[in-house]
Structure 1
Amino acid sequence: MESDISQSGTPAPARQHTWTLAAYCNMVRKRLGGRSVIDLKSIADKSWDIAPGETTVSPPAIYLPGQLERVTGWEGKRFYPYVHPGPTMRGGISVQQGPTRGYLFKDVWLVEGALYKGKASHWLSLKPRTFPTITVDREVDRAAIYCTQNGNTWFGTWLMEDCPTYALARNEGVPVTTAPSARFPLYPQVQAYENWLEMRPLRLRSAFFRELVLFDDLSNNRSRHARYRAMGEKLLAHVAHASHPGVFLLRGSDGDLRLLRNELALAEHLRATRGFRIVNPLKCDVPTIVAACAGARVVMGVEGSQLVHGVNVLQPGGCLLTLQPPNRFVSYYKYLTDRDDQHFGFVVGTPEGDGFTIDIGEVERTLDLFPRHTV
């Protein structure tokens, strides 16, 4: 919004925006049927390509015969356009990776995890409180938001997706992310990673942005690859590192339940037979975690956010071996290892009580399927 001009002809101070009913107007529109609610990016004042898209062909995953037959549940949206994960794991799929795009807006409100402009909205976190605030904490001339709803929900997604977008945001304005709350507190290891990654975001609960930039940065194109690898190099610059056989990242009972009942026995076996390091991210600080993972030729553990600590610093040609619950098969990491020229493998467990077990012999045989120079 431009400053007013006084009678003397000199610019008057810009009006300060101290309150808004944007969240409540949006709630009313939704209750009336939602037909008038539109996505914010569709009304951008300007949009542009930051980096081009490209076509990639996926390599096959590494796994033993009969593994996929054990799978009883999976996240179907992760395997689009396929219903079952089998085709994705077999590889050879031509994928159109879209471009990285920027969107510029003028006069946008942030209210507790959602952006509003007129009838348009865009959610940065899960639904806010029943009675969102009407007060505005801050007014910003030009900001760039790099956080996403998924990144505000899962630590692994924050580190793998939101943090690479920060590199785009700092070039476009003040990097902004949503402020933590009682419902969505700051992940315990965020500040340590931000320090090492040289991230200095402005955390806001509510704000008025005179200009705001958003991004489409979900495609695994070369730009995203380069920014993610640059993050890894920044982390490695803080620790001494040399090549070593591998790291086993314990999950335990943290997060969504994926209880590997023989997790400790498997980890100890790999330490004794192959020289793996064992790390419990819940009991270690970030410097200790990064130092243990740095140089690992293999990163292993139950599929989940804790694996991101090792994937961050896994080098091209390195291996990721995920231990999959049969009722919750997820292949998110395969898209990252495909992008970053690494090898992805998995072993599917068998149900046991409210958890599952993994056959140690199958882990050994799967490791032997990886290229020899990596294991």
Structure 2
Amino acid sequence: MLKPFLTIGVLLTLGLSSAQQLEFVTTSLAPTFNDFFEPLVARFERANAGVKLKWTDLPQNAIQQKILAGIAAGNPPDAVQLNSSQILELAQQGALLPLNDLLEAATFKLYQKTALDAFSYEGKIYGLPDYASTRIVAFNTDILKKAGLDPNNPPKTIPGIIEWAKTIKDKTGIYGFAPLIANVDFLKAFQEAGLPIFDAARKKAVFNSPAHVALLQQYVELRKKDYFPEDVMRRGFTAAYELYTAGKLGIIIIGPQFMPRLEKDNNAVWKATVVAPHPIGPGQVVQASTFAYAVPKGVRDPKRAAALAAWLTSDDNQLAFSKRTGTTFPTTVKAANDPFFRSGGSSVNDLARLAAAKTMRYGRDLTVPVPNASALNKAFKDNIEAAIFGQKSAKAALDEIVKFWNANL
């Protein structure tokens, strides 16, 4: 049985009357996980007689507008589930409340520090981490066999994956892979390769060194020789997933949570898929997408809203949700150590979770928090695209980004 919302006594000391309602918002989880959230709401309401808990689910591209509109109207939801980029952007806009003064210090110790760090800005915590998912590598064995590659011996490094991708394209005409380097994702590629974004004081951008230039140039050459599709620079993972689902991509870097979706979207491709852990490069980190619950500015009772966020992300609730998805991981210390994440069946979906579990200890949300994020990220995106498409050199692109960043940090 899941624990009640803190305790009823704590709830009452926060001034919650039976006539009041709390609301939390999730990101793109309905209707797939209605069978999790509807009982969750019912358990909350049984434990807190007379209190109504409203669950709203919104698509990721609409949720920030919901928050801002709610703040403007004076009735924002109490707790909102967002990714790290969204939380950091809204925190910079002053649209979220820092949680440090709303919760006891002991509450924060329940979460993995690396997960909390992803939602911290200028020394304040703006989100309580919820679920996380790191990347794996999926291979279409039908395409590998056509290229003369052994599905039972996949590459264990990113350079190895690139060599396989080139072989696939050369021998079959099918794209071998679609690197996740759109928008500002090359910042994550730098970190996974062990290349710094800032100097030691985190005051100055330094990602225009010869090593940074060489890494970018590698992808410039791959695009120039048509080793990955142009569309991936504009639509990122969406373009990669569409190609893989259609049987037109040999290798995809993907979250394990997409395996059940692939099973439905193209069962033949799903059956032909084998998975492996994402390679760990010199940076000893791998991107882990993490969501958290934040408290918008203007909620009726900030402490009550923060307590709701803490309950939603409790050990019990996080473990139950990850067991329901089968492909995500908790961010609380206790739940993340549950034996469930080290055992499983033999289906592609189970093997995807186990592959992700092997690298989860290296997982970090590699989003880079910066002031003036919109302007800085646009400068990064525009210049990286210009380099990839041959409109300027890799060095000129990185020099221009670093100059702009250091003038606006």
Higher strand share: 1
Higher relative contact order (CA 8 A, sep 6+): 2
TM-score (ref. length: structure 1): 0.25
